[in-house]
A and B are shown apart, each in its own frame.
Chain A
């Protein structure tokens, strides 16, 4: 929570306040047919695929990589599952849905391992290694669906997106579970530190005995798995697989979410809470565009302007310029205390992030 507070929460807060000003009932939440409804629930529900994809992307970026292929994996996952269900002997049975989902997740592991192979084993730049799958992947998805939009009518499959457990939509629960799991595994074990070490200096961490290759493989497989889960949610939501449009530009939104959350594209230190915040900010932005009544034609411009503002405000250079302009009037920051010989070393405050000011 403390980590969350240090992150740039103001864009999200500003957007929510804007919504509240336009629609006073924006924060209202009510239960209907055993499921929560309301704008905030919608943001969480619709933002779940992006949040999950961005989580996988966070770990990839932390190892100084990038995964451009997640949008293609989203479309492949939906295509495989829907085609499998549609061609099974009983397209409405739970068994067909489960087998299809298993197939999609298995394929995602293979695709992620492929990316990992190119990056970790062959040492190809991540941006270009994943560009291969980004370009070819959507073609593969179209190959699987034969260029058609495959529609399925399977209660189990639509349940991924439509059902609710204890009034909370399953998508939100799944996203929360994945976030909790990753936070636990990377923050309570050494894995998170190892990921950061690989991102900060792959060679040094290899020499220090970190299995950088295995870690890089793992994060790409995990990113593809996350993308596949997101793809299943997206496809289950519309009961169909649209190889052309499912997850289109999702990789860009995911990267934006990660960077808004304060993780540098240069690798190293990463923030899971920040990514969640970034994903919610982007989803809230989309929702705001609809709810405030911004004409759809201006929505992309609005999005671009918000993104530019957020990044300008976060850029260290801009902050430095602003601080310099303000310094004569404002209070001077205290000079760093000189180390006292023999004094308590443990009390020295450690500047954790450059952007936390």
Chain B
């Protein structure tokens, strides 16, 4: 009993801002352990790694979205930009461009798309919700302009990347896409916590007025996060292309919702200023675990995943609210 009290005190000593991430982590461990108890062969290292492999693009998207949401903005265009990236990549490859140039072009295109939206949001003072909504329509529409049909990818480099398995130890492996996602997470953590830009992002999300009065580069941060989100979406699009080996206008419909859900479940406040990239990664893993459990169960229909994600969102939102109130009361 005293040990329990001690532990409760320990938890209370953890700064409130870390609590949501810790809860997400605990939830992830619980769900995974639950799956392991219920199904044979669930609790294996490879199932864990498969979470990363199957959701590598979502991890990258969630990282970009975290930047945007930390400044108090939102980016509804990410799913459409993923689809547009798969389309552009497939179309350029079909036109005979070298694969490396295609990848660079797609990344640059995504960053430019984000730059345009960020500039409109910051300099013309139009709400992010509306601007990125228009971006969502535009990107999805451009997909249809490129081609109405799905374009399959025959390029040897793309196929090699898609089929390569990077061995880890005896029987485990990761895909190159998952490694890219991990690298993106590492870079994002570095940028957010070790650079001036990262601190400015948090400051702008906390209070834009104060950040401006402090002489911080508010414009750079506010436009920059959309560039990052655009580039991340394009990169996620490339990873998705490796995963599907095709470009199609109807890829990634509604993926922006998954990305936002992952960020929120990861403990980032939609008002901005508080949250962690690692939380978003955990959010993606939780979403992935739900899918995995559903596929192991087999009999449950796909719509249960939507309902469960909705319930999880609810739990986390209410929890954040309670934490915020407790923080304010102190």
Contact = CB atoms under 8 A, between A and B. Distances in A.
Are A and B bound to each other? yes
B124 A312 contact: yes
A252 B261 CA distance: 18
B126 A315 contact: yes
Contacts of B219: none
A252 B133 contact: yes
B260 interface: yes
B192 interface: no
A301 B142 contact: yes
Given A128-B317, A302-B141, A135 B306 contact: yes
A252 B256 CA distance: 13
B190 interface: no
Interface stretch (A38-46, A119-127, A231-239, A339-347): A119-127
Nearest to B264: A128
A300 B140 contact: yes
A142 B301 contact: yes
B293 to A, nearest CB: 15
A210 interface: no
A256 B130 CA distance: 8
B311 interface: yes
A242 B140 CA distance: 22
A30 interface: no
B137 A304 contact: yes
B155 to A, nearest CB: 25
Contacts of A315: 124-126
A298 B141 CA distance: 6
Contacts of B131: 311
A292 interface: no
A147 interface: yes
Given A298-B145, A315-B124, A135 B310 contact: yes
A191 interface: no
A256 B133 contact: yes
Contacts, number: 125
B11 interface: no
Is the interface on chain B under 10, 10 to 19, 20 to 34, or 35 or more residues? 35 or more
Interface in B232-271: 257, 260-261, 264, 270-271
A140 B141 CA distance: 29
B317 A124 contact: yes
Interface centre among B127, B135, B137, B317 (most CB of A within 10 A): B137
A301 B139 CA distance: 8
Interface in B308-324: 309-311, 313-314, 317-318, 321
Contacts of A133: 310
B137 A128 contact: no
A185 interface: no
Given A255-B129, A317-B124, A122 B318 contact: yes
Interface string B277-307: 0000000000000000000000001011111
B317 A129 contact: yes
Interface in A271-317: 296-305, 307-308, 311-312, 315-317
A297 B145 contact: yes
A303 B144 CA distance: 13
Interface string A249-272: 000100110010000010000000
A136 B307 contact: yes
B130 A311 contact: yes
A184 to B, nearest CB: 30
Interface string A133-168: 111111110110001000000000000000000000
Given A122-B318, A300-B144, A315-B125, A142 B257 contact: no
A27 B135 CA distance: 33
B212 interface: no
A132 B307 contact: no
Contacts of B270: 125, 127-128
Contacts of B307: 136, 139-140, 143
Given A123-B321, A124-B318, A127-B270, A308 B134 contact: yes
B148 interface: yes
A129 B136 CA distance: 22
Nearest to A114: B314
A20 interface: no
B251 to A, nearest CB: 15
Interface in B115-153: 120, 123-127, 129-131, 133-138, 140-142, 144-145, 148
Given A301-B138, A312-B124, A136 B311 contact: yes
A133 to B, nearest CB: 7
A135 B134 contact: no
Interface centre among B74, B129, B135, B306 (most CB of A within 10 A): B306
Interface of B: 74, 76, 120, 123-127, 129-131, 133-138, 140-142, 144-145, 148, 257, 260-261, 264, 270-271, 301, 303-307, 309-311, 313-314, 317-318, 321
Closest 3 CB pairs of A and B: A136-B310, A300-B141, A139-B306
Interface of A: 66, 118, 122-125, 127-129, 131-140, 142-143, 147, 252, 255-256, 259, 265, 296-305, 307-308, 311-312, 315-318
28 contacts: A66-B129, A122-B318, A123-B321, A124-B317, A125-B271, A128-B264, A132-B311, A134-B257, A135-B310, A135-B313, A142-B301, A147-B301, A147-B303, A252-B136, A265-B127, A296-B144, A297-B141, A297-B144, A298-B144, A299-B144, A300-B137, A301-B138, A301-B142, A304-B138, A304-B141, A307-B133, A308-B138, A315-B126
